[in-house]
Structure 1
Amino acid sequence: MLIAIASLKGGVGKTTTAIHLCSYLQTDRPTLLIDADRNRSALVWAREENLSFNVASQAGSAALIPQHQHIVTDMKAGPEEVELIDLATGNNLIIIPTTPNHLDLDATVKAVEMLKKHNVNNYKILLTKVDSRTVNSRTAKKFLEGKNLPLFKAEIPLLIAFEKASQNGKTVKDYSDSRAKQAWKQYENVGKEILNN
């Protein structure tokens, strides 16, 4: 399966989603994460070699692709419209992560409008950094549903465990924190939803 993680805006959990989704997909079949972001955050995360899957730069991925059944690409933030459409035609699924912040939601709606303009419908939105105690988090899902946008059932919670895990080159699955297990469960649910469709 070919999956791209894309967003018109940075800071929405794009790399975090790519890393955790790959960790889940690796339990199904060999998985490769291609880091196509300018910041190379996935490659930095993988530097400690604690991840269960392969991570490669875009330039270094060609030789590895044939050895993997799942290929996930962590795209640069803010791709141009033509890049977004190319992604959609070259992948089975585009995941658009967004936080409940109104600026991030606005960027997500703009990305969807670009895709719709080209009759692209192989995308799904993932709510990230969700804090159920805030009004934004409670209303974001309703806002997106009101626009009839396809959403993952799972929502990724706002937890410091993600940052701590990344500092240690791990996923929250492998980080010893009780709330981290809750966060991992949500990414497991995202992975199951993808594989079951």
Structure 2
Amino acid sequence: MIVTLLSYKGGVGKTLSAIHLAAYLAGQNATALIDGDRNRSATKWAKRGELPYPVVDEKAAAKYARNYEHLVIDTQARPNPEDLGALADVSDLVIVPTPPTAMALDATFLTLDALNSINCQNFKILLTLIPPYPSTDGKDARERLQELKLPVFAGEIRRMAVYQKAELAGALVNKVSDRRANMAWRDYQSIGSEIIDG
């Protein structure tokens, strides 16, 4: 399975999600994360610590593709139309992560317009960085997306400071010492399960 994460906006939890969804898939079968982001955020994360799968440069993707059951592709923000078409063509699933803010949702709609322009139908929106109760931003964003009949993951990724700890340590969130680490990991397990179950 090839899973691509893309967005027309930075800071939406794209690399965070790529790293943790690759970890979930690695628990199912051999997985590699392809770092196609110009900032090489996933590569830097991996170099600070240890991840349970290889993180490879996009230029080496062809070499790794034949050795792994699953590939997760972390893309640059706002890929050009040619790259977008190529990514959509090779991907079994395109994940569009978005926080529940007006600016992020606007960027998500631009991303979806671009996907629709190349007739990409195999996408799903992932709500990320959901603020805690009593905020209703996550619920409100979900309702808006559902009203538009857009495909949205049933699970969502809550905003938690433990992710910054994981990034600094170069580790998965469930490998850092924090009382919310397992809760954060369960969010990604839920999404991973949705991906596998189709």
Whether TM exceeds 0.5 here: the answer is: yes
In the aligned structure 2, how far is the partner of 1:119 from the partner of 1:57? 27
SS at match of 1:94: strand
* Aligned twin of 1:35: 35
In the aligned structure 2, how far is the partner of 1:129 from the partner of 1:101? 10
Q: What is the CA-CA distance between 1:49 and the residue it aligns to?
A: 4.2
Deviating beyond 4 angstroms after TM superposition, the runs of 4 or more aligned structure 1 residues are none
* Aligned twin of 2:85: 85
> What letter corresponds to residue 82 of structure 2 in structure 1?
V
Deviations 1:111-134, CA, capped at 9 Å, x for gaps: 112222332210000000001432
In the aligned structure 2, how far is the partner of 1:115 from the partner of 1:79? 11
Q: TM-score, normalised by structure 1?
A: 0.95
Structure 1 residues 83 and 64, CA, compared in 2 at 3 Å: closer, same or farther?
closer
Contact 2:48 2:168 in 1 (8 A): no
Contact 2:99 2:127 in 1 (8 A): yes
In the aligned structure 2, how far is the partner of 1:80 from the partner of 1:58? 15
SS at match of 2:66: helix
* Aligned twin of 1:106: 106
Q: Which moved more, 1:99-108 or 1:63-72?
A: 63-72
SS at match of 1:71: strand
- Count of aligned pairs: 197
Q: TM-score, normalised by structure 2?
A: 0.95
In the aligned structure 1, how far is the partner of 2:82 from the partner of 2:113? 13
- 1:117-136 matched pairs, under 5 angstroms: 117-133=117-133, 134-136=135-137
Contact 2:31 2:68 in 1 (8 A): yes
Taking only aligned residues, the RMSD between alpha carbons, in angstroms, comes to 1.2
Contact 1:33 1:56 in 2 (8 A): yes
Contact 2:49 2:170 in 1 (8 A): yes
1:159 aligns with 2:154: no
SS at match of 1:124: strand
Contact 2:49 2:169 in 1 (8 A): no
- 1:182-193 matched pairs, under 5 angstroms: 182-193=183-194
1:181 aligns with 2:190: no
In the aligned structure 2, how far is the partner of 1:150 from the partner of 1:132? 23
* Aligned twin of 2:44: 44
* Aligned twin of 1:9: 9
For structure 2, the 5+ residue unaligned runs are none
User: Sequence identity of aligned pairs in percent?
Assistant: 39
Contact 1:132 1:138 in 2 (8 A): no
Q: Which moved more, 1:98-107 or 1:117-126?
A: 117-126
SS at match of 2:125: strand
1:66 aligns with 2:100: no
In the aligned structure 2, how far is the partner of 1:127 from the partner of 1:95? 10
